Amino acid sequence: MEFLIDAFKNAFFLIVSLDKELLEIITLSLKVSLTALFFASLFGIPFGAFLGLKNFLGKTVILILLNTGMGLPPVVVGLFLYMLFSRSGPLGFLQLLYTPTAMIIAQFILAFPIVTALTQSAIVKVDPIIKLTARTLGATPFQVALTVIKEARYGIVAGVIAGLGRVMAEVGAILIVGGNIAGYTRVITTTIALETDKGNFELALALGIILLIISFIINISFYIIQKRGIPPNIAWL
């Protein structure tokens, strides 16, 4: 019992004293995850919008693949990238293994299906009357598409936040491709895994608390955005 209390005390001390190692780890975590999320959104939102707006042969297959991708086990992504990036792998010459770039790529792969699929679903939920109204007010096909995307904005942002939630909490993929190198590729989740293993609970606990706070903030934002995204009912229809 005393051991637990001591661990918490020391963890809090680390947080309040803004411990340098702690800050470094948190900063790298945010950098990796937010960069991955940025690229996942950059490609995922337009692709999801395209899937939501256009019908074409093979679209169902893509949607099924994306939905599978949403539940992709991070360790499998890590394994797959490890094989690609390892010295004897086809992309070994890029020397990306155990770098933050490899971690960003791993998290990109995890976030992309979520952002894309949730964007697509937000777009198809937009009432068809919006598209028609835009057209009858003189919008070009491109302007019509932008209008529908804008109408789906809360759902899309909710998708981006869901993507962030997934990558921030993930450990399997980045542990494999990042290697948890101190001062270089150590992030919140990988440090927790390693330090717990070593019996060094203070740092692990401090990071755990930070991760919980971040996850709490992510979930509150998700909730608020989702709620705002439900348009007020048109009472007379």
Partner 1 sequence: MALELLVSNIWKIYDNKPVLKDLSFVFNKKKVYAIMGPNGSGKTTLLKICALLEKPDRGEILYLDSQKRPLKKDINLFRKITYVFPQVGIFNASVFDNVAYGLNIRGFKKKEIISKVEDVLDFVGLSHKKRQNALTLSSGEAKRMGIARAIVIDPEIIFLDEPTAFVDAENVKIIEKILLQLKDKGQSTIIIATHDASFAEKVGDVILRLEEGRFLL
| Per-position DSSP letters for 98-147, written without gaps between them | TSHHHHHHHHHHHHHHHHHHHHHHHHHTS-HHHHHHHHHTT--HHHHHHH
Residue 138 binds partner 1, judged by CB under 8 A = yes
Residue 86 is classified by DSSP as S
- Contact region for partner 1 (CB under 8 A) — 45-53, 156-164, 202-210, 225-233? 225-233
What is the Cα–Cα distance from 168 to 218, expressed in whole angstroms? 10
Task: Please identify, using beta-carbon distances, which residue of 27 and 133 lies nearer to partner 1.
Answer: 133
Q: Can you list the positions of beta strands (E) in the chain?
A: none
Task: Please identify, using beta-carbon distances, which residue of 143 and 200 lies nearer to partner 1.
Answer: 143
Write down the least CB distance from residue 53 to partner 1, Å. Answer: 17
- Contact region for partner 1 (CB under 8 A) — 47-55, 65-73, 133-141, 177-185? 133-141
Q: Which residue has the tokens 């094989």?
A: 83
Q: Which residue has the tokens 């679903």?
A: 121
- With CA atoms as reference, report the closest residue to 171 among 204, 206, 219: 204
Q: How many residues bind partner 1 (CB under 8 A)?
A: 22
Task: Please identify, using beta-carbon distances, which residue of 183 and 232 lies nearer to partner 1.
Answer: 232
- With CA atoms as reference, report the closest residue to 224 among 126, 156, 158, 125: 158
Residue 130 binds partner 1, judged by CB under 8 A = yes
Residue 227 binds partner 1, judged by CB under 8 A = no
Write down the least CB distance from residue 7 to partner 1, Å. Answer: 49
2, 57, 129, 197: which one binds partner 1 (CB under 8 A): 129
42, 76, 83, 137: which one binds partner 1 (CB under 8 A): 137
Q: How far is CA 26 from CA 9, 15, 95, 178, in A?
A: 20, 11, 25, 15
Residue 125 binds partner 1, judged by CB under 8 A = no
Residue 71 binds partner 1, judged by CB under 8 A = no
Residue 231 binds partner 1, judged by CB under 8 A = yes
Q: How many residues in total does the chain contain?
A: 237
Residue 52 binds partner 1, judged by CB under 8 A = no
What is the Cα–Cα distance from 70 to 114, expressed in whole angstroms? 5
- Contact region for partner 1 (CB under 8 A) — 26-34, 84-92, 131-139, 186-194? 131-139
Binding region for partner 1 (CB under 8 A): 129-130, 132-140, 143, 147, 150-151, 231-237
